[in-house]
Structure 1
Amino acid sequence: MVFEGSSAAISHTGKVRSNNQDSGYAGSNLFVVADGMGGHAGGDVASSMAITRLAELDHPYESTAEAERALREAITETAGDLIDTVRARPELAGMGTTVSALIMVDDYAVIAHIGDSRVYLYRDGALTQITTDHTFVQRLVDSGRITPEEARFHPRRSVLMRVLGDMDADPELDTFIMPTQPGDRWLICSDGLSGVVDDIHTARALGQGMAPGRTADNLLKQALDGGAPDNVTIVIADVGGQHPIFSGTPTIVGSASNPEGVEVPAARPSRGGWLHPVRQAANEPTHFEPAPEYLEELIEEDRRRARRRRIGWIIGLVLVLLGLAAGLFGAYQWTQTRYFVGADEDTVVIYRGIQQDIGPISLSTAYIDTGISLDDLTLFDRVTIENTITARSLADAEAIVDRIRDRAEVNSR
């Protein structure tokens, strides 16, 4: 499938958050998503500052090395901007942002990434996550301690190991260069999308052949239908092979689309309190970067959780086995209240149980050997007895035997 060179960006507050701390940018050469963190004010400021700084990189480059160097420098300068801002406004301490950026240079993609926003590539009908989340749960996945599916619902999935923030003037970035090909479709998104819509549904939406704008709307709808507990920002770019020059004004979405979003706002008083718990929760940060000692606590907590999970599985298995054993025992006890009339090698016998076996286990035992010889029976009675006769009770079985004995005595005269 070949898409025309085009792009789209969209951002939504979601269904729980009271403000949008995400920002997104789709231009001619540059495509970025920044997911802010740090409370009601700090997150939107941080993501806006990142987009404002990186927007200056939206121009052609002579080489991929030049573009990669420009990305590194701009993101590092943004870290310095955040530090200076917090120095001037201490109430914004702790703010930061993820950054996932893509610059197209000829037929190559230059990517820079920090945090847990993601860059995906949809190519030849397959969706591939290009970036790796810088999160605590991703570290657990990489070490084999949990599965990717468990990571989606892990209670500590919001803990970032790396972020562009006000604490580190030289952030550790992932940068790399990838060749592209015609038909490539790139998706950059915040975890408001990837945390709600799984890869299967994302790939299905990207593969429907719709224009980037309609595809972004489709993905946003899926996130909203899934509850959208966080801000959702989506940038889609259909670029591959020799990079075309897009025309028109860049699309800026989220907090960066508001010129006031780049300014440092005054501290806003909390109106949450105990009277408005939902609103208060909506203003809490969705991500945070932990202190080293907190990471040790998280690791130990994860060990305890793993132990509890193993113990829970063992207890659950034991309970299932006990329930199964109790059920089998109850069923066996019931069979021992049933009777039927049959034959052994040469006589008529009353059996207790039912005329079935479970593998090598017999569900019946000889209860009374009547002493009536099979040779004394009529042909009809003998065939009937060998095929067994079900009785309603022991008394019924004995009555059946009495009738057979009477006929046997007549037949033997």
Structure 2
Amino acid sequence: MVFEGSSAAISHTGKIRSNNQDSGYSGDNLFAVADGMGGHAGGDVASSIAIQRLERLDQDYDSTDDAQASLQAVVTTAAADLIRAAKERPELAGLGTTVSAIIMVDDHAVIGHIGDSRIYLYRDDELTQITADHTFVQRLVDSGRITLEEARYHPRRSVLMRVLSDMDNDPELDLFVMPTLPGDRWLLCSDGLTGVVDDPHILKAMRLGLPPGRTADNLLKQALDGGAPDNVTIVLVEVGGAHPLSSGPATIVGSASNPSGMLIPAARAGRASWLHPVRQAANEPSHFEPAADYLEELIEEDRRRAKRRRIGWIAALVVVILALTGAGFLAYSWTQTRYFIGADEDSVVIFQGVQQSIGPISLSTEFEDTDILLADLPPYQRSSVERTINARSLADAMAIVDRLRAGAEAVTGETTMPRPTPTPTPTTPPATPTAPAEGEDAG
């Protein structure tokens, strides 16, 4: 049975790289993305070989088991082709490619995956990443050592743990089957998209409900607006729905669409290297498959980086705490240079500090009880004291108290003396006994 739906495929070099090492395929039943690695020449060849081998799988299958067996066999054959290409053309040594593919069999999707290209499923207004990245940083995420957000910017995010290459004639392919429903949208893409456009923005584009071609254009534009430092390849498949599949040949994009992709590109002029160092760096491999000893070195380096990061966070926290403590001490010291006049239960009091509190902590204390009774004050002065009267200094506070005392005397007709400030009472040291004069009786 031929898969019923609509699809689109698009591939772009990006804004930095000078050649496209990605390849993509969108047919009747097969949909695939391959992201090449191995330098300016090797990546083109690797992704082209993978797609040309996979293209043979675009046919009807009696069962999902048949489709899985065919997919595994073709990927193994592609690995042998890469090994042979590297032997025949030594300049291609180290070439490799990711592969993410779907074969539609009736109402099931047979999925094969190796590398860090991705397959997403958009269903019921939700976006789910179906494949797992075979990368060093994904292992760190899976082990809980870094977060997904940290993985996006990790310096080793391009280190692949599994890839289709000239170093393994028996590639370990993730192979599984999932049911698919009318209205599902399957997105296959290289990391040139996901490295720039995060999942929430991909989901937002899917929710617009545009045809696959326009949705793919939308996603590509977001990647380009974000700088697109790598090649971007997108294959979008809609199961059934309102966008019927138009008849015509399969769509092949990227290196596999150009026969010259199988040739070694000519070397670039040397002058461009110093005029455009960023572009030259962009032509270096976008992925790297490490040897076992190198992986151990990376793990140890990551441990050291994590330790430095923890020490940095602790040091920053200590600095912040010290800064807040110092600022709090200075602020409290300043409050203790302020005074105001207020009332306790029945008398006028000079307070030191300000009239605010920090939670249960009051920023003022009683400095002196003046013994002026609130009942003796004229009504307007009593009201002012009850609302509190701010003073610019202790001397200003004393002057305000003197005026209040005068007001109280005018009401009572009595003179109230200010409360004397207690002074320490001198103590007389005990007399030192003297010895009796010579000839006197000591008794």
Q: Is the partner of 1:103 in helix, strand or coil?
A: strand
Q: Deviations over 1:169-225 (max 9, x none)?
A: 001100111111111111100001111111111122122221111111011001111
Cα root mean square deviation, aligned = 1.9
- Counting only pairs closer than 5 Å after superposition, residues 127-166 of structure 1 correspond to structure 2 as 127-166=127-166
Per the alignment, residue 280 of structure 1 pairs with 280
Q: How far apart, in 1, do the equivalents of 2:400 and 2:266 lie?
A: 95
Per the alignment, residue 104 of structure 1 pairs with 104
Are 1:78 and 2:70 counterparts? no
Q: Is the partner of 1:288 in helix, strand or coil?
A: coil
Unaligned runs of 5+ in 2: 414-443
Per the alignment, residue 118 of structure 1 pairs with 118
Q: Is the partner of 2:62 in helix, strand or coil?
A: coil
Partners of 2:7 and 2:245 within 8 A in 1: no
Q: Is the partner of 1:183 in helix, strand or coil?
A: coil
Q: Deviations over 1:18-76 (max 9, x none)?
A: 11000000011111100000111100110001111111111111211111111111111
Per the alignment, residue 265 of structure 1 pairs with 264
Partners of 2:40 and 2:265 within 8 A in 1: no
Q: So what's the TM-score if we normalise by structure 1?
A: 0.94
Partners of 1:91 and 1:267 within 8 A in 2: no
Q: How far apart, in 1, do the equivalents of 2:106 and 2:233 lie?
A: 26
Partners of 1:15 and 1:229 within 8 A in 2: yes
User: Aligned-pair distance for 1:324?
Assistant: 1.6
Q: Deviations over 1:126-180 (max 9, x none)?
A: 1111111100111111111122222112111101000000100001100111111
| 351 and 266 in structure 1: CA distance in 2 versus 1, 3 angstrom threshold | closer
Q: How far apart, in 2, do the equivalents of 1:278 and 1:336 lie?
A: 60
- Counting only pairs closer than 5 Å after superposition, residues 23-42 of structure 1 correspond to structure 2 as 23-42=23-42
Q: How far apart, in 2, do the equivalents of 1:348 and 1:64 lie?
A: 93
Per the alignment, residue 249 of structure 2 pairs with 249
- Counting only pairs closer than 5 Å after superposition, residues 200-215 of structure 1 correspond to structure 2 as 200-215=200-215
Per the alignment, residue 183 of structure 1 pairs with 183
User: Aligned-pair distance for 1:278?
Assistant: 1.7
User: Aligned-pair distance for 1:345?
Assistant: 4.2
Q: Is the partner of 2:110 in helix, strand or coil?
A: strand
- Counting only pairs closer than 5 Å after superposition, residues 12-51 of structure 1 correspond to structure 2 as 12-51=12-51
Partners of 1:29 and 1:245 within 8 A in 2: no
Partners of 1:41 and 1:268 within 8 A in 2: no
Q: So what's the TM-score if we normalise by structure 2?
A: 0.88
Moved over 6 A (4+): none
Q: How far apart, in 2, do the equivalents of 1:385 and 1:278 lie?
A: 73
Q: How far apart, in 2, do the equivalents of 1:347 and 1:219 lie?
A: 76
User: Once the two structures are aligned, what percentage of the paired residues are identical?
Assistant: 71
| 16 and 315 in structure 1: CA distance in 2 versus 1, 3 angstrom threshold | same
Per the alignment, residue 348 of structure 2 pairs with 348
Larger Rg, first or second structure (1 or 2) = 2
| 162 and 386 in structure 1: CA distance in 2 versus 1, 3 angstrom threshold | same
Partners of 1:98 and 1:114 within 8 A in 2: yes
- Counting only pairs closer than 5 Å after superposition, residues 313-352 of structure 1 correspond to structure 2 as 313-352=313-352
Partners of 1:187 and 1:235 within 8 A in 2: yes
Are 1:412 and 2:400 counterparts? no
| 219 and 165 in structure 1: CA distance in 2 versus 1, 3 angstrom threshold | same
Partners of 1:121 and 1:127 within 8 A in 2: yes
User: Aligned-pair distance for 1:332?
Assistant: 1.1
Aligned residue pairs total: 407
Q: How far apart, in 2, do the equivalents of 1:297 and 1:110 lie?
A: 37
User: Aligned-pair distance for 1:259?
Assistant: 1.1
Point out the more displaced range, 362-371 or 280-289.
Answer: 362-371
Partners of 1:113 and 1:174 within 8 A in 2: yes
